[in-house]
């Protein structure tokens, strides 16, 4: 069946949201030079825009990758860390995990637990989107952009079968 894209969040709204999040991070990390850890691949555009809106010097940008959406790991309540950061990149640092969307919460929960083992000085979560309707694991989103309804979203880095990441706005993908 043909898929239809319905715009949920415009480019302008995304830009305003990212700017707001950057200001909140600037306020809280003023003298601390945080390390930002992006979860690949979905957060790459958000992270790129976020850092360009931040004035606080960022001491490092790292990435990690977890098992993809819809895999059998979801039912086990745990995602798998496929690519980690180096322990020395995190230990003793003020770390902010950057995610595109928190859905069941399993990916971010796994990523946060994993990073905690590396003993950061502090660890916070920043997510562009929150889809609370399907939450299975409680996660605290310290810096949240926008809440979205229970729809499958794409665009602005977020994909369906590797497609649509390049779209500048965010859409619901409907059949």
Q: Which residues contact ligand 5GP (rule: CB under 6 A)?
A: 42, 69, 99-108, 131, 152-154, 158-160
Is 103 an active-site residue?
Answer: yes
For Mg ion (CB under 5 A), the number of binding residues is 2
Site for Mg ion, residues 112 to 131, rule: CB under 5 A: none
How many Cβ atoms are within 10 Å of 40's Cβ, its own excluded? 15
Site string for Mg ion, 70-109 (x = CB under 5 A): ------------------------------x---------
The residue among 65, 43, 46 whose CA lies nearest residue 54 is 46
How many Cβ atoms are within 10 Å of 24's Cβ, its own excluded? 15
Say which residue the tokens 């949920």 belong to.
Answer: 8
Q: Do strands 153-154 and 170-174 pair parallel, antiparallel, or not at all (unpaired)?
A: antiparallel
Name the residue number minimizing CB distance to Mg ion.
Answer: 42
**C-beta closer to ligand 5GP: residue 44 or 152:** 152
How many Cβ atoms are within 10 Å of 125's Cβ, its own excluded? 21
- Name the minimum Å distance from CB 175 to ligand 5GP: 14
Instruction: Based on the shown chain and the rule CB under 5 A, indicate whether residue 42 belongs to the binding site for Mg ion.
Output: yes
**C-beta closer to Mg ion: residue 32 or 165:** 165
Look up residue 158 and give its two tokens. Answer: 């977020």
Look up residue 161 and give its two tokens. Answer: 């079968």
- Name the minimum Å distance from CB 30 to ligand 5GP: 29
**C-beta closer to Mg ion: residue 62 or 100:** 100
How many Cβ atoms are within 10 Å of 19's Cβ, its own excluded? 15
The one catalytic residue among 94, 103, 130, 159: 103
**C-beta closer to Mg ion: residue 42 or 145:** 42
The b-or-e profile of 111-121 (16+ CB within 10 A means b, else e) is bbebbeebebe
Please list the active-site residues.
103
């Amino acid at each position: 069946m043909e898929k239809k894209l319905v715009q949920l969040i415009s480019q302008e709204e995304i830009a305003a949201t990212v700017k707001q999040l950057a200001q909140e991070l600037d306020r809280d990390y003023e003298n601390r030079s945080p390390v930002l850890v992006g979860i690949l691949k979905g957060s790459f555009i958000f992270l790129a825009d976020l850092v360009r809106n931040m004035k606080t010097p960022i001491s490092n940008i790292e990435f990690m990758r977890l098992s993809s959406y819809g895999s059998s790991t979801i039912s086990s309540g745990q995602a798998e860390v496929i690519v980690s950061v180096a322990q020395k990149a995190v230990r003793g640092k003020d770390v902010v995990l950057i995610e595109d969307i928190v859905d069941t919460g399993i990916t971010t929960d796994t990523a946060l637990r994993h990073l905690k083992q590396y003993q950061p000085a502090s660890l916070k979560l920043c997510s562009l989107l929150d889809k609370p309707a399907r939450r299975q694991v409680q996660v605290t989103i310290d810096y949240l952009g926008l809440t979205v309804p229970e729809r499958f979203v794409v665009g602005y880095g977020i994909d369906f079968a590797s497609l649509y990441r390049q779209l500048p706005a965010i859409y619901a993908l409907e059949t």
